[in-house]
Amino acid sequence: MEAVLHRLLIWGAEIPEPLRRTCRDTEALLPEFEVRLWRNDDVRALLADRAPDYLRVYDGYARDIQRADFARYAILYFCGGLYLDLDVEALRPGPPLFSGPWAHSCLLCEETRLTPEFRAATASYPIRQCLPEDERPECTRRIANYLMAAATGDQTMKRILDLCVARSGLTVREDYDVIFTTGPDVVSTVVESHEDESLRVIPLAEADPFFRHQAAGSWRTDARAAPR
């Protein structure tokens, strides 16, 4: 796995405070990582060079947050390394990502466990009606996409990208639809159906001593979607 920390700034000219301070503090605790900040033009250039079909999907999204979701998967697939959202705070020097129990071709983190009541509620959302009835309830375990690591060419990342492509024709009418088309529901669905020895999903309790997600939620336009 490449020792590169990838950051995304798809919208906005500069990282706002206090996120800039969070980024500085986090990067100071991860000195072994080279930091790369990707902007929209950088992502488009990567996709144009490596996967023009992905570029058409990326450009076709209705919301910037969908592009940001898709971009992080593509960056990890084509470049490898560690991805952190700008509002993810390192609390102490990070665990050894390249050796020991955290070392896998793909490293993901559990975000939350969804209650039966919540899963029953979201199963009725309009966008989930495209699924067979027995697949409409969300996965019990929601996997985060704010903290991920992968080796170049990792097949979990490829499956995530492919599912994003498969759902890219769906119309986004509300914030939950972002979670379904490009966000944690995509990641969770892939993990549930393709978890193998190359993939490690870190329990939240294991990641909590090292990283904290501030959940700034700046992408939202309404309050219906589940916490992300």
Mind listing the pLDDT tens digit for each residue in 13-65? 888 888 999 999 999 999 999 999 999 999 999 999 999 999 999 999 999 99
3-state helix, strand, coil split of the chain in percent (to 5) is: 45, 20, 40
The residue-averaged pLDDT of 151-155 equals 94
The domain that holds 145 is classified in CATH as: 3.90.550.20
Q: Domain for residue 25, yes or no? A: yes
pTM above 0.85, yes or no: yes
Q: Domain for residue 228, yes or no? A: no
Residue 227: its pLDDT value, please?
40
Q: Domain for residue 223, yes or no? A: no
Domain of residue 133: give its range: 4-213
Number of domains in the chain: 1
Residue 185: its pLDDT value, please?
97
Residues 158 and 164: their CA atoms lie apart, in Å, by: 10
Residues near 180 by Cβ (< 8 Å), separated by ≥ 6?
125, 127, 128, 167, 170, 186
Residue 97: its pLDDT value, please?
60
> What is the tens place of the pLDDT at every residue in 173-208?
999 999 999 999 999 999 998 877 889 899 988 888
Q: Domain for residue 225, yes or no? A: no
